[in-house]
C-alpha cells in the first residue's frame, strides 16, 4: 500500500487529466493493491459475518473519478481511495463496512451514513423501542476500543418529529447518520497484519451493524 499512498500524495499536487493519463498505470496498480487488501479483510470478516461472504473485492472499490457537475471544485479526481463492503454490493443501502485510504486521513468504520427518510425513521424507532440494547452495544469494551461514539455530523437541534424531549434516547435520536469511524495513521496501514487489525475493528462493530440491519429490514 506504500505505492498507493505515494500515488495519492502526487495526485493531490497534480490533479489534472494530463498528469493522471501519464500515470494511469500507477493508479491501476494502486487500485489492484487495494483490492488485494480488501480481499484479505473480506476473508477474515466473512468468518463472523456470513452476509459479506462471496463479495467481489473489485466491486467494493469506489471510482476515483469525481462528479463535478454540481461542485465548485472542478478538479477531476478524488485524492483518496475507498472500499464499501455491504451485503447486496456497493450500491446497497444496507449498513456497511468502509475503508478510507488518504494520506494523513486514513480511517475505517461503518453503519448507515445518510440513510433515506424511511430507513432513518426505522432506525430511530428501533432505538426508541430497544434503547437499553443499543446502549449496551455502544458501551461494549471491544466496541469502545475502536469507536468513541456515533458520528454527530448534521445532528438535529430539536427532537425528531414524533419524539418527546424527555425521551431517554433523545440525544441519540437527533442523529441523521448512524455511523462510527476509527482513524489510523499511514504507518499502521503499512504494517504487516493490517488486514487482521481491520477485521478486528470490523468484528467489534458487527453487533452495531446487526442492530441497524434488523431495523432496516
Quick one: average pLDDT of 109-127?
95
pLDDT digits (tens, 9 = 90+) for 195-217: 999 999 999 999 999 999 999 88
Mean pLDDT of the chain: 94
Q: Output the pLDDT for position 89.
A: 67
pLDDT band at 32 (very low <50, low <70, confident <90, very high): very high
Q: Output the pLDDT for position 74.
A: 87
pLDDT band at 70 (very low <50, low <70, confident <90, very high): confident
Quick one: average pLDDT of 4-27?
97
pLDDT digits (tens, 9 = 90+) for 150-192: 999 999 999 999 999 999 999 999 999 999 999 999 999 999 9
Handedness of CA 204, 215, 56, 43 (dihedral sign): positive
Amino acid at each position: 500500500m506504500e505505492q498507493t499512498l505515494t500515488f495519492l500524495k502526487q495526485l493531490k499536487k497534480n490533479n489534472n487529466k494530463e498528469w493522471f493519463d501519464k500515470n494511469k498505470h500507477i493508479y491501476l496498480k494502486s487500485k489492484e493493491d487495494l483490492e488485494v487488501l480488501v480481499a484479505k479483510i473480506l476473508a477474515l470478516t466473512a468468518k463472523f459475518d456470513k452476509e459479506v461472504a462471496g463479495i467481489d473485492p473489485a466491486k467494493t472499490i469506489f471510482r476515483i473519478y469525481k462528479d463535478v457537475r454540481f461542485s465548485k471544485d472542478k478538479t477531476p479526481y478524488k485524492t483518496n481511495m475507498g472500499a464499501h463492503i455491504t451485503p447486496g454490493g456497493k450500491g446497497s443501502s444496507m449498513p456497511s463496512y468502509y475503508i478510507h485510504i488518504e494520506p494523513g486521513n486514513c480511517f475505517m468504520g461503518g453503519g448507515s451514513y445518510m440513510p433515506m427518510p424511511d430507513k432513518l425513521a426505522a432506525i430511530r424507532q428501533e432505538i426508541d423501542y430497544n434503547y437499553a440494547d443499543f446502549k449496551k452495544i455502544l458501551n461494549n469494551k471491544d466496541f469502545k476500543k475502536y469507536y468513541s461514539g456515533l458520528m454527530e455530523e448534521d445532528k438535529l437541534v430539536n427532537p425528531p418529529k414524533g419524539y418527546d424531549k424527555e425521551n431517554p434516547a433523545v440525544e441519540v435520536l437527533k442523529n441523521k447518520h448512524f455511523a462510527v469511524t476509527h482513524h489510523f495513521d499511514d504507518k499502521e496501514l503499512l504494517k504487516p497484519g493490517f488486514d487482521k487489525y481491520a477485521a478486528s475493528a470490523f468484528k467489534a462493530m458487527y453487533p452495531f451493524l446487526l442492530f441497524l440491519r434488523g431495523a432496516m429490514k
